[in-house]
Amino acid sequence: MPYSKFTLSRAVEDFDLTVREESNLFAAIEPVVPTPLLREILVENVPWAVAVGSEKARFSF
């Protein structure tokens, strides 16, 4: 199923999932500083992916 057609209710039904809603699920996890390489990759590629606008472009950088 393409992401543009995804809905939570459909995923729950198709995969027999159980939704657990918890607040502060990640509260105990410390933030991680991205590496310089990751920052460089994002700076170079995110504007292109956003400009192209396709699902493939957004997830292929």
39 vs 33: CA distance, rounded Å = 10
pLDDT of residue 40: 96
For the chain, helix, strand, coil in percent to 5 are 50, 0, 50
Q: Each residue of 8-59: pLDDT tens digit? A: 999 999 999 999 888 888 889 999 999 999 999 999 988 887 787 677 666 6
Whether 11 and 17 have beta carbons less than 8 Å apart is answered as yes
Which of the four pLDDT bands, split at 50, 70 and 90, describes residue 61?
low
Higher pLDDT, 33 or 6: 33
4 vs 58: CA distance, rounded Å = 12
Which of the four pLDDT bands, split at 50, 70 and 90, describes residue 60?
low
